[in-house]
Structure 1
Amino acid sequence: MSSLSRWDHELRLLFEDGTVGDAAFDQNEWRGVFAPLRDPDVFAQVRVDLQAGTIVWPVDLDMAPEALHVQAREHQIAAPARAS
């Protein structure tokens, strides 16, 4: 995963294989260790950790990149054509 855009509990992710897609999260489903992500201000602190290859939050949380890739592929966005 190389980049992301974010808005209210939804992320647009760009993966190294060229997949670009949206991952939407229902803030009411965050439970247990993920409960802090219900707060939009906490969720907005998401960033890509290139070393880990996934998204992370400063509250010591991350997501499995494989699950994010599946969700992004299910909600895939056409990537802009690359200039040659």
Structure 2
Amino acid sequence: MPTPFGTYVNVRYLVVLPGYLLQLQFDDGSERVIDFEPLLLGPLWGALRDETLFAQVRVNSDTGTIEWPNGADLNPVILHDWPEYSEQIIAERRARYAAIV
């Protein structure tokens, strides 16, 4: 299904890797490893620097994306097409939380 971010996909499976990395598998068969460390700024995402909390990420089969117990999540299309969106998202987070970093 088309969305403003591209064709909708669901995350089917994930593996937590060392260093704030997640390996994601999507329902179109593609896989991606994403480094979340640059996103871990601010009250919601910064809390995920706690490696125990970060490792509690799960796939929500109702929404088709990943989420953490503290409510952090991302659109699965953005995750799927991460190279296309990552620079902008990381730059926005750094600008928003520059005083905190």
TM-based fold match above 0.5: yes
Preserved CA contact (<8 Å) 2:21 2:33: yes
Q: Quick one: distance in 1 between partners of 2:28 and 2:75? A: 16
Gaps spanning 5+ residues in structure 1: where? 74-84
Preserved CA contact (<8 Å) 1:49 1:56: yes
Q: How many residues align?
A: 73
The answer for the alignment partner of 1:30 in structure 2 is: 41
Q: Does 1:6 align with 2:16?
A: yes
Q: Quick one: distance in 2 between partners of 1:16 and 1:71? A: 16
Report the TM-score when normalising by structure 1: 0.75
Q: Quick one: distance in 1 between partners of 2:64 and 2:41? A: 22
Shift of 1:28: 7.1
Report the TM-score when normalising by structure 2: 0.64
Stretches (4+) displaced over 6 A: none
- Residue 27 to residue 72, structure 1, CA distance change in 2 (3 Å): closer
Gaps spanning 5+ residues in structure 2: where? 1-10, 85-101
Q: Quick one: distance in 2 between partners of 1:12 and 1:33? A: 21
Shift of 1:29: 4.0
Instruction: Give the RMSD, CA atoms, in angstroms.
Output: 2.0
Identity over aligned pairs, percent: 34
The answer for the alignment partner of 1:81 in structure 2 is: none
Q: Quick one: distance in 2 between partners of 1:69 and 1:30? A: 21
The structure carrying a bigger helix percent of its residues is: 2
